[in-house]
Amino acid sequence: MKFHLKQKLVLILAAGLLTATASGSACAYTLKTLYTFCQQANCADGSIPGSGVIMDSNGHLFGTTTFGGPGAHGTIFELIPNAKKTKWNEKTIYTFCQRAQDCPDGAVPNGGLIVDTAGALYGVTYQGGPANEGVAYKLSPNASGRNWKLKVLHRFCTKLNCVDGVEPNHKLTYAGAAGGAPYDGVSPLYGIAGGLGPINSSGLVFQLTPQSGKWDYKIVHAFCGGVCTDDGASPETDLIVDGAGDIYGVTDSGGAGGGGVAFELIPNARKTKWTETILHAFDAETSLTNGYTPAGGLVMDASGNLWGTTVYGGINSNYCALQSCGVVFELASGQAGFTESGVHGFCQEANCTDGAQTAAGHGSNTKFGPLVTDGSGNFFGATSVGGANGKGTLYAWNGSTYTVLYDFCQLSECTDGIDPSAVIRDSAGNLYGTTSDGGNGPSGNDGTVFELTP
C-alpha cells in the first residue's frame, strides 16, 4: 500500500498555548497559538496540519491533519472556544483508516474543508478508497454534535485507466463560497483531481451533485497538458465560482508560455457543457517580473479583478534575481479581457526578511492558500519561508504597500510555528491558520493552529 504523499513531505512534529508580538511591521499584531499537535501518545490527536482551517457560524474552527490519529492516516479536528475566546479546546472528530487495511473511508486528508448550513463538513483525501487514489467525503454531526458519521461521496480511479482522475488534493468549492456563505447542501460542488483523467490530460476539474441521496460525478474539464500548448497542465490550487456560476482557477504549468495559466470555465444554460477560456498564460522565459507558476488559487475583488501569487519570478526584487521568490499579481478585468501585472515581488530585502514565496514550500506538505480580502482593497496572505527568522511570514497588501504582520519562529525553538499556509479572516479582522512545523508539543514540531489579532 502507498500511504505516503507522492510529493515530498517533510515529516515534522508540534503542540502548546503561547503568545508573541509581530516584529518589524507597521502594525502591532499579536499571535496566539491555539493548539499544537501530537500532544497524545502516537499523535492520536493528529500531526502536520497543512490546509488551514475554516470557521462555522458558532465560531468553532475545523481543519485536517495529514497524518496521525489511531489509523495514522490523518484526522479531522474541531477547536471550540470558551465564551471570551481566551481558551480553545481541541477535539478529534474523525480519524481515517481505523478499521481496514485498504482505507475505504480515505487516507491523508490534505485538501481542507467546507461547511454546510447544517454543520456538515466536506472534503477530499489524497489516498485511500478501493484504488487507493482518494475519495470525496461528507462528515455529518448527530443532533448533539458529539458524534460524527462519514459518508463517501465518490471514490476516484474506479473507471478504466482512471479517467475519473486520481489523488484529489484541494478544497471543494461552490457558488457563494467566495462571499463566505455556507454550502447549501444541494448545489453542485467543484474540485480538482490530479494525474491521468481522460487520455492525454494532465489533471481535471470535476463536479459532484447530490441527486436522490446519491452523488453524481462529472468531469467539467480535462486539461490537455503538454499535448496542447494553449491549455494549462497540473491544476494544483483551490477553485472559485462567481455569481454567474463560472469557475476560475490556475494551473502551475503548461500554457503558451510554459509557466501555467489562469482559466475560466463557462457553463451553458443547462450546465451540461463547459467552455474553457484562458485568461492569462504565465511566461516562464520572458516575463519573470510578473511571475510564473501560480500557486494558491485566485480571489476576486469587488471590481471583478483577480488576485493571486506565484512561486517563481520576482526578478524585479532586489535580492531575487537568482532565487526567484515569487510575486503578488493582479489580473485586471477590462473590455479586452484580463491584463496581468506583478504588483509586488517578494524578497526585496536582504535575506528575504520581507518574506518569500519560493519553491521551498512548493511540492512539499505546504498548501499555498489563496489571498483573503477584507473587501476594502486589502489582501492578506502567508509566505512559507523568509521573514526575519527565515521560517515564514503573515503579510498584508493594500494595493500599494506591503507589510509584514508577523514573523514566525520568534520564540525559542520555534514554539510559535514554522511554515504557515492558508489563512482565513473573521469579521473582527483576526486571521486564523495553521503551520505544518514548529510548536511546543512533546515531540517538538508537529504543527500548530494560530490566531493573529490586530
What fold does the segment set 51-245 form as a domain? Methylamine Dehydrogenase; Chain H (2.130.10)
Q: Which residue has cell 451553458? A: 268
- CA-angle at 299, arms to 452 and 49, nearest 5°: 45
Give pLDDT tens digits for 319-376.
776 556 889 999 998 887 889 988 998 988 888 899 988 664 443 445 578 999 998 8
Lowest-confidence range among 17-31, 81-95, 150-164, 190-204?
17-31
Please state the rounded mean pLDDT for residues 303-309. 94
Report pLDDT for 155.
96
120 with 142: CB under 8 angstroms? no
Q: What are the structural domain ranges in the chain?
A: 19-45+381-454, 51-245
**Residues found in the chain:** 454
171 alpha carbon, distance to own chain's centre: 7
Report pLDDT for 306.
96
Give pLDDT tens digits for 223-257.
986 666 688 888 888 999 998 999 999 998 889 88
Give pLDDT tens digits for 360-419.
444 344 557 899 999 889 999 999 888 999 999 999 999 899 999 999 999 999 999 999
Please state the rounded mean pLDDT for residues 428-438. 95
Report pLDDT for 324.
67
449 with 17: CB under 8 angstroms? no
End-to-end Cα separation, the chain, in angstroms:
46
This prediction has a pTM of 0.91
The CA distance from 24 to 388, in Å, is 8
Lowest-confidence range among 14-18, 24-28, 111-115, 329-333?
14-18
pLDDT over 90, % of the chain: 59
Among 416, 421, 405, 406, smallest CA distance to 441 is for 416
Show the cell assigned to 2: 502507498
